[in-house]
Amino acid sequence: MTVQVLIPTPLQKFTADQATVSLEATSVDELIKALDGTFPGLGNRLCDENGKLRRFLNVYVNSEDIRFLDNQATALADGDEVSIVPAVAGG
């Protein structure tokens, strides 16, 4: 399944300044592994030492927050769009 991944500006240094990349994956977890395999070092920015997404990152599949789906086990279909969005805090 080919999915489009929208890469936030702070992480584009890992993707040779590409804002969008296409990868094969059937789940969000598999996509993270594919991202790290294609762009070494990116996986460490996305996940902690236990393989869980870092707290300050939000991931959306077709505009749906994966926290309300199956988290990293969320299934992906051909043509899905995955957005990686750094959390913003302020007051």
Beta pairing partners, 61: 64, 82
Closest to 3 (Cα-Cα) out of 86, 67, 83: 83
- Judge contact between 59 and 53, C-beta under 8 A: yes
| Domains in the chain: boundaries | 2-86
CATH of the structural domain 2-86, one choice from 3.10.20.30, 3.40.50.970, 3.65.10.10, 3.40.190.10: 3.10.20.30
- Judge contact between 4 and 81, C-beta under 8 A: yes
pLDDT of residue 51: 94
How many other CB atoms sit within 10 Å of the CB of residue 19? 12
pLDDT (tens digit, 9 = 90+) per residue, 15-48?
A: 999 999 999 999 999 999 999 999 999 999 999 9
Three-state DSSP at 72 gives helix
The DSSP secondary structure of 12-71, one letter per residue, reads GGGGTT-SEEEEE-SBHHHHHHHHHHHSTTHHHHHB-TTSPBPTTEEEEETTEEGGGTTG
pLDDT (tens digit, 9 = 90+) per residue, 68-91?
A: 999 999 999 999 999 999 987 766
